[in-house]
Amino acid sequence: DRDVLRNAAIANDFDGINNNITLYQYGHSIQICDYENTCVGTTPNASNVWVGTYIISGRHTYSPHLIRLYLW
């Protein structure tokens, strides 16, 4: 359901998103950032890191959030 991740991102619910990631063969971490670049979560201290950035829009107002997924 798209709204589960959208609602978690808008609420800066780090655990709500992190608990939905099931990439057992990789180490991972996430960050949730608002449009002012205030972020929740951590960046990895690893080499050879892949980063995917996803933009989530607000539900009823302009409130974009970035979700950064780090894999190593």
- Residue 1: the pLDDT is 57
Q: Which two tokens stand for residue 47?
A: 């080499």
- CA geometry: angle at 50 spanning 4 and 14, to 5°? 30
Task: Give the pLDDT band (50/70/90) at residue 12.
Answer: confident
Task: Please give the model's pTM, rounded to 2 decimal places.
Answer: 0.78
Write out pLDDT tens, residues 28-55.
999 999 989 899 998 999 999 999 999 9
DSSP classification of residue 59: S
**Number of other CB atoms surrounding residue 67 within 10 Å:** 19
Yes or no: say if 27 and 21 are a contact pair by the CB < 8 Å rule: no
Give the span between the Cα atoms of 16 and 19, in whole angstroms. Answer: 6
